[in-house]
Amino acid sequence: MSKSIVNTNPYPFRFEASQYPAIKPNGKGVTIDYTNFRGSRPSLQASRLRAMVFAQAGAAGVMIEDQSWPKRCGHTAGKSVVSRIEAYARWQAAVDARKDGQDIWILARTDSLIHGYDEALTRARKAIEIGVDAVFVEALPDRESMARLRKDLDFAMIANIIEGGKIQNLSAKDLAELGYSLVCYP
């Protein structure tokens, strides 16, 4: 019989957080793109600790997504996502870190649009139910689909516009008119 042993020692995570000088308290909000929260279910306790340490280091927020490893850009072919159960556990781990007294903003990202609009909507709704602060459905192709999702969710939404990517190139003003809270132009 084997057991999973989870490292709950926060020191390695404090070291990791110290490697990001931009998150030192500087009066500016910095959000860490935490990719896939490093983990299968056995490592979620460690992931919760990592979110806590990033908050203690001064990060304003974390973005946690549902892509499988190895991660790919959301606008490329060949990406895959973890099961709903795994995605929900990742988002719950971050929310649990906040419940442990950490003041951290949580963005749930889903790349599940590869399985259709309904799957992405289901995951986004569950993320909201879990208690995240905003959702980001990656690679909505056009203004109409962005407006539809915003109407279906009525929640804080993020858009990511990549020149030459899968998304229609909309201005920040256009996205604000649609009701999006934040837009990234990487």
Q: Please report the domains of the chain, with CATH numbers, ordered by start residue.
A: 29-184 (3.20.20.60)
Active site residues: 73
CA–CA distances in Å: residue 128 to residues 23, 87, 153: 26, 13, 9
The residue with greater pLDDT, 39 or 150, is 150
Q: What is the mean pLDDT of residues 12-36?
A: 50
What digits encode the pLDDT tens for the residues 97-114? 787 766 788 889 999 999
Q: With contact defined as beta carbons under 8 Å apart, do 148 and 180 qualify?
A: no
What's the pTM?
Answer: 0.78
